């Protein structure tokens, strides 16, 4: 038995019927008629939805144990490894001295390693220089010397995700026009369906495989230059510890998928232009050829203690980029925001007064402008703190020139009109 396809009117929701005379779908309820392509574009065949990756399978072999040394932290459970001549005396995460030797057994073997190029001295200089010129830095970092409690040279396990992604998105779009006729304000809205399909290739989207490191910290250290990576050998780890991945690639896949979906959605949305309002109706993201590569990335971890609380600083061991979990001082943020708001509002009011344009409406607009400027200034000052934050997309990992727009279709549906009577204040008694 064949399935019956029922189409609904986009305007009123009533059933649509095909008219042989007009070769269109017509609504007996509201009288609108539609191109068949426009209605079909509202419900495209999404195909296979989902992004999947082939997981790595190369594991440590028994012979690797001869050149490697593993350690287990009894305090936090960290599983660490290094080459055979390096001795670990404390855990790089919790600082506990109760770190015991163990054997390398199983687990996915890294394929690549990015060596450290930032020295210990350079990392210390970056830490010391961080506290200069930060307007919103809490006073506890200004009134006393910032000493390094612990400094650790660590290779962090990452999974690098590659895939060729395809996206199909349908948007509801509107073009609005307002005009005044006599005492009436007339608004006409033209409703459209915009259908976009496209593809792009992603390479080396990094997701850290360490449960003990916050994704906000590791993603804030991006990017790394993969062209400098070398094949994994135990000797590369000399003088440093490497965290053994305790979050497998399958568990990290979801984070990579989020960034892929956001990137291709943003790219497709950027092609929908010329409308007053655009909202997403439906979306489907799929991928082919997904693969995962296990690698080790260099990170300097620094902790400092203030008033009994530990603060973490992380430095990209290749580029020197720094991030941290230092918060913005709330009182300073309010003081700066309030000061900028008052200053901009005062200057705007003065300018309006001199131009004889000072009124409740113009003063409200000046207040809105002052609030926007205050938010921008405070946002810029918070940016100086280099606070750790998750990355929303993977735009930096799109292969150059790989974005292709396969479907670019806009279909007019119907027009709606509203009327509003304009109240004349001069006629009020």
- 150-169 pLDDT per residue, tens: 888 889 999 999 999 999 99
φ, ψ dihedrals at 212, nearest 5°: -85, -15
| Mean pLDDT of the chain, nearest integer | 85
Three-class SS state of 382: helix
Residues 74-87: tens digit of each pLDDT? 677 666 666 555 54
Highest mean pLDDT among 12-26, 190-204, 295-309: 190-204
Residue range 8-27, pLDDT digits in tens: 888 888 888 888 888 989 99
Cα torsion 236, 240, 244, 247 to 10°: value is -110
Q: How far apart are the first and last CA of the chain?
A: 71
Contact of 335 with 377, CB cutoff 8 Å: no
Measured between alpha carbons, how far is residue 264 from residues 22, 162, 219, 290 in Å? 38, 14, 19, 15
239/280: higher pLDDT: 280
Tens-digit pLDDT profile for residues 365-416: 999 999 999 999 999 999 988 988 888 889 899 999 999 999 999 999 999 9
Strand partners, 190: 175, 415
Q: Which of 72-76, 146-150, 316-320 has the lowest mean pLDDT?
A: 72-76
Coil/strand/helix, residue 154: strand
Tell me how many helices (H) and strands (E) the chain has.
6, 15
pLDDT at 414: 92
Strand-pairing partners, residue 169, are 196, 283
Instruction: Answer for the pair 296, 113: CB distance below 8 angstroms, yes or no.
Output: yes
Q: Please give the distance of CA 149 from its chain centroid, rounded to a whole number.
A: 32
Of 35, 45, 110, 105, the closest CA to residue 286 belongs to 45
* Euclidean distance between CA atoms 293 and 108, whole angstroms: 10
Is the confidence at residue 98, as pLDDT, over 70? no
């Amino acid at each position: 038995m064949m399935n019956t396809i029922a189409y609904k009117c986009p305007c009123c929701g009533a059933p649509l019927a095909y008219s042989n005379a007009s070769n269109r779908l017509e609504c007996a309820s509201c009288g609108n008629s539609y191109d068949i392509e426009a209605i079909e574009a509202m419900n495209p065949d999404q195909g296979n939805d989902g992004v999947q990756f082939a997981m790595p399978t190369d594991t440590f072999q028994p012979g690797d144990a001869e050149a490697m040394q593993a350690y287990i932290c009894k305090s936090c459970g960290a599983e660490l490894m290094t080459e055979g001549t390096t001795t670990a005396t404390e855990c790089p995460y919790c600082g506990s001295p109760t770190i015991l030797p163990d054997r390398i057994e199983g687990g996915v073997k890294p394929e690549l390693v990015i060596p450290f190029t930032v020295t210990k001295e350079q990392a210390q200089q970056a830490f010391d220089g961080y506290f200069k010129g930060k307007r919103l830095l809490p006073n506890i970092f200004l009134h006393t010397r910032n000493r390094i409690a612990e400094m650790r040279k660590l290779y962090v396990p990452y999974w690098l995700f590659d895939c060729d992604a395809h996206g199909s998105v349908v948007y509801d779009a509107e073009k609005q026009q307002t005009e005044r006729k006599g005492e009436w304000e007339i608004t006409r809205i033209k409703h459209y369906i915009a259908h976009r399909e496209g593809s792009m290739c992603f390479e080396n989207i990094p997701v850290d495989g360490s449960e003990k490191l916050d994704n906000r910290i590791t993603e804030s250290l991006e990017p790394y230059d993969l062209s400098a990576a070398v094949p994994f050998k135990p000797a590369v780890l000399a003088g440093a510890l490497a965290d053994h991945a305790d979050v497998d690639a399958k568990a990290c896949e979801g984070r990579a998928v989020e960034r892929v979906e956001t990137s291709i959605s943003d790219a497709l949305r950027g092609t929908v232009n010329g409308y007053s309002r655009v909202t997403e109706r439906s979306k489907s993201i799929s991928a082919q050829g997904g693969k995962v590569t296990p690698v080790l990335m260099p990170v300097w971890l620094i902790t400092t203690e203030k008033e009994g609380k530990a603060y973490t600083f992380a430095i990209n061991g290749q580029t020197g980029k720094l991030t941290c979990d230092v918060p913005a001082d709330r009182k300073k943020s309010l003081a700066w925001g309030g000061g900028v708001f008052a200053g901009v509002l005062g200057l705007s009011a003065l300018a309006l007064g001199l131009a004889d344009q000072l009124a409740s409406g113009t003063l409200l607009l000046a207040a809105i402008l002052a609030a926007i400027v205050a938010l921008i200034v405070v946002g810029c000052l918070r940016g100086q703190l280099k606070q750790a934050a998750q990355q929303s997309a993977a735009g930096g990992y799109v292969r150059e020139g790989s974005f292709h727009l396969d479907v670019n279709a806009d279909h007019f549906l119907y027009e709606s009109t509203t009327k509003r009577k304009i109240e004349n204040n001069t006629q009020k008694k």
